[in-house]
Every structure is written in structure tokens, then in C-alpha cells.
């Protein structure tokens, strides 16, 4: 089985977060081509602080990741999707059933590869 099927986010490694798009009640993260749509609201971890949707500084912290290079993209089944950046900050999306707000937690698009849905 190709490595991309085991870890579809591996293709993000070395790329940069190029845009953060807020669409009503979800967020889209764009990475030099691929995009990760977070229906379950992502958390941002910067310098021992965790920023969550609705908290003061959340949008600034999330947008502050724009331009940073991805060190690692990984999925921990039934736990989280995690994008770690070179400066040790990260963005995570919960995959715990109690955190789902819709049928999906996240959708990863990297054409021409198949779309991955969690």
C-alpha cells in the first residue's frame, strides 16, 4: 500500500500553509495546492498556549501560521489530525466522536489523488 494511503498528510511535509479561509462555521487550510477542510473546529498550539474557536486570539493564532513550513502531517486514528510546523507550533483537529459537529470531521483534497474524509 503506498505511503500516501497510510498517511495522506505526508504530502504536506515541506510545504507551507498558504491561506486560512473562514467559511461560516468551518475553516479551510490551504497548503501550496492541497487543502484541508476542518468541519470539527481546529485548535492552534503556539508556545505552550492552546487557542480554540471562539476564544480571544484564536483567529490571530490560526492566521499566524500562514507562511510556516510543515514539519509533519499525521493522523492518529480516532484521536486527531495534526499538522506540526518547523517552529514547533501545530494545528490539530479532533477525531474523537464526541467532538464531531457533522458526519465528517475533516476533508483532505489533493488532486488528482482521491479525496480523504475522516
For every one of its 118 residues, what pLDDT tens digit does the chain have, with 9 covering 90 and above? 444 457 999 999 999 999 999 999 999 999 999 999 999 999 999 999 999 999 999 999 999 999 999 999 999 999 999 999 999 999 999 999 999 999 999 999 999 999 999 9
Beta-bridged to residue 72, according to DSSP, are 84
- For residue 6, the model assigns a pLDDT of 75
Name the helix (H) or strand (E) containing 50. Answer: strand 49-51
Using DSSP, state whether 64 is helix, strand or coil.
Answer: coil
Q: Where exactly are the structural domains of the chain?
A: 3-110
Nearest to 44 by CA among 28, 56, 61, 57: 61
Instruction: Read off the C-alpha cell for 27.
Output: 475553516
pTM above 0.75, yes or no: yes
Amino acid at each position: 500500500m503506498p505511503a500516501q494511503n497510510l498517511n495522506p498528510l505526508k504530502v504536506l511535509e515541506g510545504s507551507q500553509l498558504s491561506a486560512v479561509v473562514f467559511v461560516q462555521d468551518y475553516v479551510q487550510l490551504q497548503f501550496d495546492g492541497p487543502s484541508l477542510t476542518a468541519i470539527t473546529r481546529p485548535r492552534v498550539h503556539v508556545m505552550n498556549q492552546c487557542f480554540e474557536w471562539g476564544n480571544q486570539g484564536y483567529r490571530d493564532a490560526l492566521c499566524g501560521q500562514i507562511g510556516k513550513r510543515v514539519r509533519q502531517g499525521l493522523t492518529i486514528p480516532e484521536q486527531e489530525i495534526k499538522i506540526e510546523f518547523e517552529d514547533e507550533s501545530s494545528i490539530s483537529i479532533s477525531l474523537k466522536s464526541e467532538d464531531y459537529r457533522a458526519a465528517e470531521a475533516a476533508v483532505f483534497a489533493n488532486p488528482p489523488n482521491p479525496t480523504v474524509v475522516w
